[in-house]
Amino acid sequence: MQLMRAFDDLLPNFEYTEIFQINFLSDSYTELKGTYDLIDLYCQHPTCACHKVTILVYNSYNRVVATITYGWKPTSYYQRCGIHKMTAEALTQGYLDPHGLQSEYSCILLRAFTQMLDQEPRFIKRIKKRYAIFKKAVATNTKTLPDNIIPIGQLS
């Protein structure tokens, strides 16, 4: 089990606060029309090297309508960490987290997210940068986690 935490929750006064959103402006998805905020969560175990993010997609009513997990390392990296091949492949493409909140529009939001990964290289750079900053902040925090948490990067 991983303990995920929002970047902005751990570092609320951090100066790098670029907001990422998905906008549905066309009439092709009238029920989705609007702006969706993307909130990034990272594993807060100080020695975990999972290199992944969980994205909560919030609608204008401040409700989670999709939970997406994405990893930017090669599939082989995640397999070496003990993750099944199919799961590792899904992780590197982005997938709907089966343990997270979803809605009837989650699949469409996932498709929009993966399109953003392809079309916005700065989005992946932002995730990687915030992951590194988050992990550094967690490593310097004196608060300890339960002993039964096994970091992904330490699985064998």
Task: List, for residues 70-79, the tens digit of each pLDDT value.
Answer: 999 999 999 9
- Write b or e for each residue in 103-117: b if 16 or more Cβ atoms lie within 10 A of its Cβ, otherwise e: eebbebbbebbeebe
Confidence (pTM): 0.86
Highest mean pLDDT: which of 13-22, 27-36, 138-147?
A: 27-36
pLDDT in tens, 105-149: 999 999 999 999 999 888 899 999 999 999 999 988 745 444 444
Which two tokens mark 14?
């951090």
pLDDT above 60: residue 150: no
Give the pLDDT score at 23.
87
Give the pLDDT score at 148.
45
Which two tokens mark 81?
């960490």
